[in-house]
């Protein structure tokens, strides 16, 4: 039977997640009985809070399993708005201008799809979590990469570029663990305000922040911010796929609502009740996880500091350790080669820096979101690498 020919599609230009390929390689090694250390991707090792689990069970028992408002159940939108006002200082948040998404990635997609016209640009840090540039491309936009360490200085080169529609902030920053300070955020706001453009703020790691630093939401200072959040990191609900977004721009919000309705038409109903319990219930769980993540960070940072080949850069947020390759083993000349060499020699999985952008060459990333015992075992191996 002759195969039907397809026309070229924007999806053809989207690269398949390199980290997924690395994960599959590690799983294959595990199936073959080899000892591996899963530091290639970040997923909280903690169970969801007990009161969240009970709320989901209760929703199922009460048959709350039917269609919901595509923007989220009223109870959850109310809880989100109150959290954004009280915790993040985003005073414009109301139940009528927040919406619930199928995880943070869904919120990112509907934001950029609603915001960008074909050919418009979004300034993003380099390196940056792999999917950001791809989502912008899916929205027919053009990602403009600027090295994260010179983000504010170099974005000014685009002051007169009328095709720049938004600046993207991810703080704490994946993959480097960098936390944007008040001065930097203020300077980015000045740039955005002078150009009359939006800030898109991905705050998925708002609660994974160390050393006494405080998270600052750009939306608390600049009304033209689209603020994006996730339940995955703060409450270990990664598999339950709950994210949320806020914008006070009525036209943009209406577009985002339409996209939600035409794509997912609402998030899993029972898990939304779990999210209500997470946001309105005890918050000590967040501090307990943060304390354990900081312990894991210190374990792996101190171990890698003794490595012959790697120089770790201490993160102040996220659960990732960004490492400069200070010396290459014989036969290795780039980050991909180092990742393969490390896996072959030690069984430790990592992510090569270039998957996060051109500025990532010469670096690799470890995730320390796995259980502390697992991180300690991996650290003992890395210490002698």
Instruction: Write out pLDDT tens, residues 214-272.
Output: 999 999 999 999 999 999 999 999 999 999 999 999 999 999 999 999 999 999 999 99
- Would residue 55 count as lying in a domain? no
Scored b (16 or more CB within 10 A) or e, 46-58 reads eebbeebeebbee
302: left (phi over 0), alpha (psi -120 to 50) or beta: alpha
Nearest to 184 by CA among 156, 144, 226: 156
Q: Environment class of residue 257 by beta-carbon count within 10 Å: exposed (0-12), middle (13-18) or buried (19+)?
A: middle
Are residues 306 and 239 part of one domain?
Answer: no
Are residues 295 and 191 part of one domain?
Answer: no
Are residues 141 and 72 part of one domain?
Answer: yes
Are residues 263 and 184 part of one domain?
Answer: yes
The pLDDT, as a whole number, for residue 15 is 78
In the numeric block, the tokens 């598999």 are attached to 239
Are residues 146 and 87 part of one domain?
Answer: yes
The pLDDT, as a whole number, for residue 17 is 64
Tell me the pTM.
Answer: 0.95
Scored b (16 or more CB within 10 A) or e, 29-39 reads beeeeeebbbb
Q: Which residues of the chain have pLDDT under 70?
A: 16-18
3-state secondary structure of 184: helix
The pLDDT, as a whole number, for residue 10 is 84
Alpha carbon 183 to its chain's center: 22
Residue 374, preceding bond cis, omega within 30 degrees? Answer: no
Are residues 101 and 217 part of one domain?
Answer: yes
- CA separation for the pair 79, 82 (Å, rounded): 5
Sign of CA dihedral 287, 288, 289, 292: positive
Residue 18 lies in domain: 10-47+285-383
**Boundary residue ending a domain (246, 281, 316):** 281
Are residues 70 and 27 part of one domain?
Answer: no
119: left (phi over 0), alpha (psi -120 to 50) or beta: left
β partners of residue 183: none
Are residues 41 and 17 part of one domain?
Answer: yes
In the numeric block, the tokens 């709320």 are attached to 55
- CA separation for the pair 98, 227 (Å, rounded): 9
The pLDDT, as a whole number, for residue 13 is 83
- Would residue 1 count as lying in a domain? no
The pLDDT, as a whole number, for residue 382 is 96
Are residues 139 and 247 part of one domain?
Answer: yes
Give helix 103-115 / helix 131-138 axis angle, nearest 10°. 40
Are residues 103 and 183 part of one domain?
Answer: yes
| Number of domains comprising the chain | 2
- Would residue 306 count as lying in a domain? yes
**Boundary residue ending a domain (259, 281, 303):** 281
């Amino acid at each position: 039977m002759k195969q039907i020919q397809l026309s070229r599609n924007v999806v053809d230009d989207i690269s398949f997640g390199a980290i997924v390929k690395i994960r599959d390689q590690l799983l294959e090694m595990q199936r073959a009985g080899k000892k591996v250390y899963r530091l290639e991707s970040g997923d909280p090792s903690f169970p969801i809070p007990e009161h969240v689990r009970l709320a989901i069970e209760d929703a199922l028992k009460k048959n709350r399993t039917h269609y919901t408002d595509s923007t989220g159940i009223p109870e959850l939108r109310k809880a989100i708005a109150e959290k954004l006002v009280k915790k993040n200082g985003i005073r414009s948040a109301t139940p009528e201008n927040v919406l619930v998404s199928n995880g943070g990635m869904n919120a990112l997609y509907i934001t950029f799809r609603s915001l960008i016209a074909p050919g418009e640009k979004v300034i993003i840090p380099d390196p940056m979590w792999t999917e950001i540039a791809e989502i912008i491309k899916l929205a027919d936009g053009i990602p403009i990469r600027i090295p994260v360490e010179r983000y504010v200085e170099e974005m000014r080169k685009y002051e007169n570029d009328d095709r720049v529609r938004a600046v993207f902030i991810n703080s704490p920053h994946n993959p480097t663990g960098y936390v944007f300070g008040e001065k930097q955020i203020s300077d980015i706001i000045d740039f955005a305000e002078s150009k009359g453009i939006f800030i898109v703020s991905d705050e998925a790691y708002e609660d994974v922040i160390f050393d006494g630093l405080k998270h600052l939401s750009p939306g608390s200072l600049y009304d033209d911010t689209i603020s994006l959040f996730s339940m995955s990191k703060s409450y270990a609900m990664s598999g339950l796929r709950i994210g949320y977004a806020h914008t006070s721009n009525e036209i943009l919000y209406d577009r985002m609502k339409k996209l939600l309705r035409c794509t997912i038409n609402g998030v899993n109903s029972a898990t939304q009740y779990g999210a209500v319990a997470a946001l309105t219930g005890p918050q000590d769980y967040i501090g307990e996880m943060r304390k354990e993540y900081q312990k894991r960070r210190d374990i792996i940072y101190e171990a890698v500091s003794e490595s012959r080949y790697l120089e770790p850069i201490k993160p102040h947020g996220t659960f990732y350790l960004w490492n400069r390759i200070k010396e290459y083993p014989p036969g290795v000349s780039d980050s991909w080669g180092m990742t393969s060499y490390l896996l072959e020699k030690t069984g430790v999985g990592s992510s090569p820096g270039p998957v996060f952008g051109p500025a990532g060459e010469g670096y690799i990333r470890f995730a320390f979101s796995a259980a502390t015992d697992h991180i300690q075992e991996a650290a003992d191996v890395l210490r002698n690498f």
